[in-house]
Amino acid sequence: MAGRYYPTRPAKMMGKMTVSYGVAQILAPAITGWLAASRAGDYAVGLYLAAGVMLVGSVLLLVLKVVQRREANAQATLCPQN
């Protein structure tokens, strides 16, 4: 995906995605532990938070797919193939 959307600098985008993933891997357990200790007393709230983040990510991917299809259709309309 990084190569498709950033063909001139895919390594920069892959680096950003890797850093984001690493930061989430460090922060998510700490946030879940804090929520379990101070708010709810169990880890269910952390699971709900993770599910919410996954839902938002899935919606964003679907939006990206819709935008990609629209761009492809617009490109096909502007430049019909013979």
Q: Please give, one letter per residue, the 3-state secondary structure of 44-82.
A: HHHHHHHHHHHHHHHHHHHHHHHHHHHHHHHHHHHCCCC
Could you tell me the pTM of the whole model?
Answer: 0.68
Residues 6+ apart with CB under 8 A from 5: 13
Enclosing H/E stretch for 7: none
pLDDT tens string 10-67: 888 889 989 999 999 999 999 988 888 887 678 888 889 899 999 999 999 999 889 8
Query: And the tokens for 33?
Result: 């532990």
